[in-house]
C-alpha cells in the first residue's frame, strides 16, 4: 500500500506546484454548524479554489510532471479524461497552464454549468454514455485511437496534490478527532490518509458515499471490489459504479468507517451550509456534512473536520433546494427541546 500513497516529501513538493498557481484555502469553525452538530466543527473550504473544487490541486501536480516528461522528449501530448465536471475543470485549467490540448468526456445530460465551465477553460468537450463509467471507457478508447494521454481518476500524483489541502487542515487543527470525506473515485479520501500518515496523527477517517451509489461502501463491507448501480440525482461527484482498484486497497487498509447519505440528506446539508455559512455547496461537496448530521449523536464532545469539497451546483437545482423545508434546522430545534 505504501507505494500507492505519496510520502510527506512528495506532498511538500506537490505543495510548491500548487501554491505557484493558487493560495492555500481557509478552514473555519462556523458557530451555527457547530450548534447544529453539537460539537466543534471545522470546515475546509475547497470551494474557494480557482475551479471551485479540490480537484484542481491534483490536476496541477499531475500535469506538471507530465509536462516535465514532455519537455525531456520535446513532445507535448494532448490529454484526455472522463469526468462529471470538477476533475475536468482541473484538467482544463492545468492543461492550459502547461500548454497542452485537453479533451474531456462527460455523460449525456451532464451539468450544463459544469460543461460551460470546462469549455471556458478551452477543453474539447464530448458527451458520451449514460454514466461516468461509460464515459471513462469511451475516453480510454479515444486515447488509444488518437494517441492522447489518458489522465486517470486516481493516481499517486493526483493524490499528492489533493493531500496538500489535508496537510493545511491538519497542521492548522492537529487535534481533530474525526474527518469526514466524500468518496468519488477515491483521490480525496486517499489524500486524507496520506496526510494523516505524513503528520503521524491518529485522526479517524470516515468515508462518505451516496446511498444511491454504494460501490465503495459495499466493497468496504465485503473486503473486495463490488460494482453497484448509480441513481443519485444530486451528488454527481460521487456517482461511482466501479471502484478504482488502487483507491479501494488504501480504503480497505486505512479508512475507519464508510457511511451512506441519501439525496434528501445531501440536499438538507447543502441548505444548511448556505444558511449557516452563506457558502454554496454542490451535492458531493456537502456530503461530509450530511454524514456528520446523520451520526451527530455519536460526535458529542469530539472535534470534527469536514471538507466543503466543491461548490459547482447548477443554479436551477440550488434554487429548488433552498426553497425546500429546512429539515436540518427542524431536527436541530427538536433535539434542543428534547435536551
CB of 63 within 8 A of CB of 324? Answer: no
Domain count, the chain: 2
Same domain, 218 and 334: yes
CATH of the domain at 162: 3.40.50.1100
User: Which three three-digit cell numbers place residue 201?
Assistant: 496523527
- The residue among 88, 118, 150 that closes a domain is 150
Same domain, 221 and 309: yes
Same domain, 194 and 60: no
First to last CA, the chain: 45
Same domain, 141 and 171: no
Same domain, 189 and 93: no
3-state secondary structure of 181: strand
Same domain, 234 and 92: no
Same domain, 12 and 62: no
Strands 41-45 and 27-29: antiparallel
Domain with 186 in it: 2-54+156-338
3-state secondary structure of 311: coil
Same domain, 187 and 237: yes
CB of 235 within 8 A of CB of 263? Answer: yes
Same domain, 165 and 97: no
Same domain, 309 and 176: yes
Q: pLDDT tens per residue, the chain (339 residues)?
A: 558 899 999 999 999 999 999 999 999 999 999 999 999 999 999 999 999 999 999 999 999 999 988 655 556 679 999 998 899 999 999 999 999 999 999 999 998 899 999 999 999 999 999 888 899 999 999 999 999 999 988 899 999 999 999 999 999 999 999 999 999 999 999 999 999 999 999 999 999 999 999 999 999 999 999 999 999 999 989 989 999 999 999 999 999 999 999 999 999 999 999 999 999 999 999 999 999 999 999 999 999 999 999 999 999 999 999 998 875 555 545 554 554
Write the CA distances from 109 to 15, 131, 137, 190, 233, integer angstroms. 35, 9, 17, 29, 11
Compute the distance between CA of residue 309 and CA of residue 282 in angstroms, rounded to an integer. Answer: 8
Same domain, 131 and 193: no
Same domain, 72 and 39: no
Global pTM?
0.92
Sequence-separated (6 or more) residues with CB below 8 Å from residue 157? 6, 14, 58, 61, 62, 65
Could you tell me which of 248, 99, 116, 266 has the C-alpha nearest to residue 186?
248
Amino acid at each position: 500500500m505504501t507505494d500507492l500513497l505519496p510520502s510527506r516529501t512528495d506532498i511538500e513538493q506537490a505543495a510548491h506546484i500548487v501554491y505557484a498557481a493558487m493560495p492555500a484555502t481557509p478552514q473555519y469553525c462556523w458557530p451555527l454548524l457547530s450548534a447544529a452538530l453539537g460539537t466543534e466543527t471545522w470546515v475546509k473550504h475547497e470551494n474557494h479554489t480557482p475551479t471551485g473544487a479540490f480537484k484542481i490541486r491534483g490536476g496541477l501536480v499531475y500535469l506538471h510532471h507530465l509536462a516535465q516528461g514532455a519537455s525531456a522528449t520535446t513532445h507535448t501530448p494532448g490529454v484526455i479524461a472522463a469526468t462529471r465536471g470538477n476533475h475536468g475543470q482541473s484538467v482544463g485549467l492545468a492543461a492550459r497552464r502547461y500548454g497542452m490540448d485537453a479533451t474531456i468526456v462527460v455523460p449525456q445530460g451532464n451539468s450544463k454549468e459544469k460543461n460551460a465551465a470546462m469549455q471556458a477553460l478551452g477543453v474539447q468537450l464530448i458527451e458520451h454514455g449514460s454514466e461516468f463509467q461509460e464515459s471513462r471507457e469511451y475516453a480510454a478508447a479515444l486515447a488509444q485511437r488518437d494517441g492522447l494521454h489518458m489522465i486517470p481518476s486516481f493516481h499517486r500524483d493526483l493524490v499528492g496534490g489533493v493531500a496538500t489541502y489535508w496537510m493545511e487542515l491538519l497542521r492548522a487543527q492537529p487535534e481533530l478527532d474525526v474527518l469526514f470525506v466524500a468518496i468519488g473515485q477515491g483521490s480525496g479520501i486517499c489524500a486524507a490518509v496520506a496526510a494523516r500518515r505524513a503528520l503521524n496523527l491518529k485522526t479517524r477517517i470516515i468515508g462518505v458515499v451516496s446511498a444511491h451509489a454504494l460501490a465503495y461502501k459495499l466493497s468496504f463491507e465485503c473486503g473486495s471490489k463490488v460494482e453497484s448501480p448509480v441513481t443519485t440525482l444530486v451528488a454527481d461527484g460521487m456517482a461511482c459504479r466501479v471502484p478504482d482498484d488502487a483507491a479501494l486497497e488504501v480504503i480497505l487498509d486505512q479508512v475507519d468507517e464508510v457511511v451512506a447519505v441519501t439525496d434528501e440528506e445531501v440536499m438538507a446539508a447543502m441548505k444548511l451550509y448556505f444558511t449557516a455559512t452563506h457558502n454554496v455547496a454542490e451535492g458531493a461537496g456537502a456530503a461530509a456534512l450530511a454524514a456528520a448530521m446523520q451520526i451527530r449523536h455519536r460526535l458529542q464532545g469530539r472535534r470534527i473536520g469536514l471538507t466543503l469539497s466543491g461548490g459547482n451546483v447548477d443554479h436551477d437545482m440550488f434554487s429548488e433546494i433552498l426553497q425546500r423545508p429546512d429539515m436540518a434546522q427542524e431536527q436541530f430545534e427538536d433535539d434542543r427541546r428534547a435536551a
